Structure 1
């Protein structure tokens, strides 16, 4: 198993080195215009300067991560509480479902200018966009997880004399947790996307604001570097959530 994992990592590293080598050679031979595609040496130089030399990217990265974390926590907690409330009060769920569907159908990025008017250019508007994205994703997963509980388990629990409280906390909730975690994983990614999208429109700080500035100045090496950083950030948070899910659901 260890050997297989090592070979897999080496294979990916070789592919990345080969891909970057071809890209660099094509840029230097003018097969690819660096003005539009950048070049790996310039991208690495920008990241080295921003992360190691003057460390300006750490401030922007911290701003984006803080806004994404707050929006994810706020949106997810509100979504899980709302989903649990809907499971206890199904009539409330039926009454609210059309309005929630209507709100969910609205593109939140298009609402970003409205959030900017309400909360300003600071972190508040970015949190609002990110939370609005994560809320509906986690809410849908919570409701789906509760609805997907095996009816045989519920019938057997009632036959054995379990109370509604016991059924909820010992049968319904544990059975719904895997689906809820799937929603949380997506909610975290979408919180990050919402924050970066809002920063692209208007912001004082953040990776999205930096990306918008670099794009406006035609600094393609910087644009590619920020995109690479965002891709690594998305991969990192997804991996973190996967490991957390495996650790918490080890009982399954």
Structure 2
């Protein structure tokens, strides 16, 4: 039996969801009116009815969005996995052996300060127009985000827990795996969620600059042919894709932290 508080919370959630839908519909209606009356040239803002027509065609008729999304998601997944593993490994290594962090800190700080999109032409020169250059760009973004979140999480452990563990005779290895690492998991997952989005952004950015496949390449083609409705359609698809990836990471985090 649900409590009054749970019932009120569900009612509030439904009301907020309904208001969001109403606001979204109102936005599209105003947008359609402005475009139809040409108060703003449709070449600049598109037209919602044409945008949804493009989405329907590209999704259910020729399925071009799914085909290009396959290339983008493959590169994003590879960049995210490689960047996350590298970031977690180096982050934990820095926590366990601080001299290693002091050795790498100047190099990593300099690399992290570089605008990664400026490295895209270099990655394309090294790895070519295929997925490898996009994976490298996404990796360079994900790695430092996950690295910083891992270090921050591992060093934010409550000192009382560490003192109590030592008093109970726990070894350094047990303290690390049972206390430090477990306590750092929520912060690490916060970095992983952000790293997932930045991996996608890095791959899309690389595809926009130079690529044979992918949603970024499709965006470049549509913009080059002045297909504003298509551009907005792909952007909406990317926004939905990003939300789905974040939800997936949140579900995984809730599953792994169900013991809390």
Q: What interval of TM-score do these two structures reach, taking the shorter chain for normalisation?
A: over 0.9
Instruction: Please name the residue that 2:110 is paired with.
Output: 102
Instruction: Please name the residue that 2:248 is paired with.
Output: 240
Pairing of 1:38-53 with structure 2 (within 5 A): 38-53=46-61
Write out per-residue CA displacement over residues 58-115 of structure 1, whole angstroms, 9 at most, x where no aligned residue.
1101111111011000110111111111222111111111111111001111000000
Which stretch of structure 1 is more off in the superposition, 174-183 or 150-159? Answer: 150-159
Instruction: Determine which of 166, 176, 201 is the counterpart of 1:193.
Output: 201
Cα drift, residue 4 of structure 1: 3.0
The TM-score normalised by the length of structure 1 is 0.97
2:98 pairs with 1:90? yes
Number of positions where the alignment pairs a residue of Structure 1 with one of Structure 2:
252
Pairing of 1:207-246 with structure 2 (within 5 A): 207-246=215-254
The TM-score normalised by the length of structure 2 is 0.94
SS of aligned partner of 2:201: helix
Which stretch of structure 1 is more off in the superposition, 176-185 or 88-97? Answer: 88-97
Give structure 1 stretches of 5+ with no counterpart: none
SS of aligned partner of 1:205: coil
Instruction: Please name the residue that 2:4 is paired with.
Output: none
2-structure distance, mates of 1:219, 1:247: 42
2-structure distance, mates of 1:20, 1:151: 53
Instruction: Please name the residue that 1:63 is paired with.
Output: 71
1-structure distance, mates of 2:64, 2:222: 14
Instruction: Determine which of 171, 175, 191 is the counterpart of 2:183.
Output: 175
Task: Quote the RMSD (CA, aligned, Å).
Answer: 1.0
Instruction: Please name the residue that 1:249 is paired with.
Output: 257
Write out per-residue CA displacement over residues 142-192 of structure 1, whole angstroms, 9 at most, x where no aligned residue.
011111111121111111111001100111000111110110010000000
Cα drift, residue 2 of structure 1: 3.5
Write out per-residue CA displacement over residues 191-229 of structure 1, whole angstroms, 9 at most, x where no aligned residue.
000000000000000000000111111110011111111
Instruction: Please name the residue that 2:33 is paired with.
Output: 25
Cα drift, residue 250 of structure 1: 2.2
Instruction: Please name the residue that 2:3 is paired with.
Output: none
